[in-house]
A and B are shown apart, each in its own frame.
Chain A
Amino acid sequence: MGRKAKFDGTVVSTGPGRKAKKQSDPTFPKGLIEKTSGPLSRHQKQRAKKRLLKKNQNEKLREPKAKKSKVSKEVVKREKIQSSADENEEEEDADETPVEETSEEEEQDNEEVEQNQSLGLKSGPADSDDADSSEEEEENEDQDDSDDDGDDDNLLPIEKANKRLKKKQEKERKLAEDEMKDIATHQDIFTFPTEEELANPTSLKDVQQRIRDVIMVLSDFKTLRDKDRPRVDYMELLKADLCTYFSYNTFLMEKLMQIFPLSELLEYLEASEVQRPMTLRTNTLKTRRRDLAQALINRGVNLDPIGKWTKIGLVVYSSQVPMGATPEYLAGHYILQGASSLLPVMALDPKENERILDMCAAPGGKASHIAALMKNTGVLFANDINQDRIKAVIGNFHRLGIVNSVICSYDGRKISSAIKGFDRVLLDAPCTGTGVVAKDPGVKTNKDEVDVQRCCTLQRELLLAAIDCVNARSKTGGTIVYSTCSILPEENEWIVDYALKKRDVKVVPTGLEFGAEGFTNYRQHRFHPSLKLTRRFYPHVHNMDGFFVAKLKKFSNIIPKKDTQKDEEEEEEEEEEKEKDSE
Chain B
Amino acid sequence: MKRLSEERTKLVFEKLTKYLGDNLKVLIDRPDGTYCFRERKDRVYYVSEKILSLASTVGSDHLVSLGTCFGKFTKSGKFRLHITALNYLAPHAQYKIWVKPSAEQQFLYGHHIAKSGLGRITENTPQYQGIVVFSMNDLPLGFGVTSKSTADCKHADPMSTICFHQADIGEYIRSEDTLL
- Contact A390/B64 with A331-B140, A418-B58 known, Cβ cut-off 8 Å: yes
B66 touches A406 (CB 8 A): yes
CA distance A332 to B51 in the complex (A): 23
Q: Which residue of A lies closest to B172 (CB)?
A: A399
B137 touches A407 (CB 8 A): no
CB < 8 Å neighbour of B179 from A324, A393, A395:
A395
A327 touches B58 (CB 8 A): no
A327 touches B64 (CB 8 A): no
- Contact A324/B180 with A295-B137, A409-B64 known, Cβ cut-off 8 Å: no
Within 8 A of A (CB), among B53-67: 54-55, 57-59, 62-67
B51 touches A406 (CB 8 A): yes
* Residue from the set B57, B66, B104, B169 with the largest chain A CB neighbour count within 10 Å: B66
CA distance A332 to B68 in the complex (A): 14
Q: Judge whether A11 is part of the interface by a CB distance below 8 angstroms.
A: no
Min CB–CB distance B81 → chain A (angstroms): 13
Q: Judge whether B149 is part of the interface by a CB distance below 8 angstroms.
A: no
Within 8 A of A (CB), among B165-180: 169-170, 172-173, 176-177, 179-180
CA distance A164 to B69 in the complex (A): 91
CB < 8 Å neighbour of B108 from A324, A327, A407:
A327
Q: Judge whether A392 is part of the interface by a CB distance below 8 angstroms.
A: yes
A394 touches B65 (CB 8 A): yes
- Contact A398/B180 with A418-B58, A419-B58 known, Cβ cut-off 8 Å: yes
A355 touches B62 (CB 8 A): no
Q: Judge whether B141 is part of the interface by a CB distance below 8 angstroms.
A: yes
A331 touches B58 (CB 8 A): no
Range of interface residues on B (Cβ < 8 Å): 35 or more
B54 touches A379 (CB 8 A): yes
A355 touches B54 (CB 8 A): yes
Q: Judge whether A207 is part of the interface by a CB distance below 8 angstroms.
A: no
Q: Judge whether B48 is part of the interface by a CB distance below 8 angstroms.
A: yes
Q: Judge whether A180 is part of the interface by a CB distance below 8 angstroms.
A: no
Q: Judge whether A410 is part of the interface by a CB distance below 8 angstroms.
A: yes
- Chain A residue total in the interface (Cβ 8 A): 31
A399 touches B169 (CB 8 A): yes
Q: Judge whether B159 is part of the interface by a CB distance below 8 angstroms.
A: no
Q: Which residue of A lies closest to B66 (CB)?
A: A406
CA distance A405 to B47 in the complex (A): 9
Chain B residues closer than 8 Å to A399, beta-carbon distance: 169, 172
CA distance A394 to B69 in the complex (A): 9
Within 8 A of A (CB), among B128-180: 135, 137, 139-141, 169-170, 172-173, 176-177, 179-180
Chain B residues closer than 8 Å to A355, beta-carbon distance: 54
CB < 8 Å neighbour of A395 from B51, B108, B137, B180:
B180
In the complex, number of A-B residue pairs with CB atoms less than 8 Å apart: 90
Within 8 A of A (CB), among B87-145: 87, 104, 108, 135, 137, 139-141
A330 touches B180 (CB 8 A): no
Q: Which residue of B lies closest to A400 (CB)?
A: B87
Min CB–CB distance B69 → chain A (angstroms): 7
Q: Judge whether A408 is part of the interface by a CB distance below 8 angstroms.
A: yes
Chain A residues closer than 8 Å to B84, beta-carbon distance: 398
Q: Judge whether B10 is part of the interface by a CB distance below 8 angstroms.
A: no
Q: Judge whether A349 is part of the interface by a CB distance below 8 angstroms.
A: no
CB < 8 Å neighbour of B63 from A328, A391, A406:
A406
Min CB–CB distance A376 → chain B (angstroms): 10
Chain A residues closer than 8 Å to B172, beta-carbon distance: 330, 395, 398-399
B54 touches A406 (CB 8 A): yes
CB < 8 Å neighbour of A410 from B62, B69, B141, B177:
B62
* Residue from the set B62, B67, B108, B173 with the largest chain A CB neighbour count within 10 Å: B62
Q: Which residue of B lies closest to A411 (CB)?
A: B62
A331 touches B63 (CB 8 A): no
Within 8 A of B (CB), among A397-432: 397-399, 401, 403-410, 418-419
Q: Judge whether A325 is part of the interface by a CB distance below 8 angstroms.
A: yes
Q: Which residue of B lies closest to A384 (CB)?
A: B64
CA distance A407 to B57 in the complex (A): 13
CA distance A392 to B173 in the complex (A): 10
A324 touches B173 (CB 8 A): yes
B180 touches A331 (CB 8 A): no
B104 touches A327 (CB 8 A): yes
Q: Which residue of B lies closest to A355 (CB)?
A: B54
CB < 8 Å neighbour of A330 from B48, B58, B63, B108:
B108
Q: Judge whether B25 is part of the interface by a CB distance below 8 angstroms.
A: no
CA distance A327 to B142 in the complex (A): 11
B64 touches A407 (CB 8 A): yes
Chain A residues closer than 8 Å to B63, beta-carbon distance: 406-408
A327 touches B51 (CB 8 A): no
- Contact A331/B51 with A391-B180, A398-B68 known, Cβ cut-off 8 Å: no
CA distance A262 to B87 in the complex (A): 54
- Contact A327/B173 with A407-B65, A410-B62 known, Cβ cut-off 8 Å: no
B169 touches A327 (CB 8 A): yes
Within 8 A of B (CB), among A250-295: 295
Cβ contacts A to B, 18 pairs, < 8 Å:
A327-B139, A328-B139, A330-B141, A330-B169, A355-B54, A391-B177, A391-B180, A395-B172, A395-B180, A398-B84, A403-B47, A403-B67, A405-B66, A406-B65, A408-B58, A409-B64, A410-B62, A419-B58
Given contacts A394-B64, A405-B51, 4 further A-B contacts (CB under 8 A): A330-B141, A399-B172, A401-B87, A407-B66
- Please give the residue numbers on chain A whose beta carbons come within 8 Å of chain B beta carbons, in ascending order: 295, 324-325, 327-328, 330-332, 355, 379, 387, 390-395, 397-399, 401, 403-410, 418-419
- Please give the residue numbers on chain B whose beta carbons come within 8 Å of chain A beta carbons, in ascending order: 47-48, 50-51, 54-55, 57-59, 62-69, 83-84, 87, 104, 108, 135, 137, 139-141, 169-170, 172-173, 176-177, 179-180
Question: What 8 pairs between A and B have smallest CB-CB spacing?
Answer: A330-B169, A398-B84, A407-B65, A406-B66, A407-B64, A394-B180, A406-B55, A408-B62
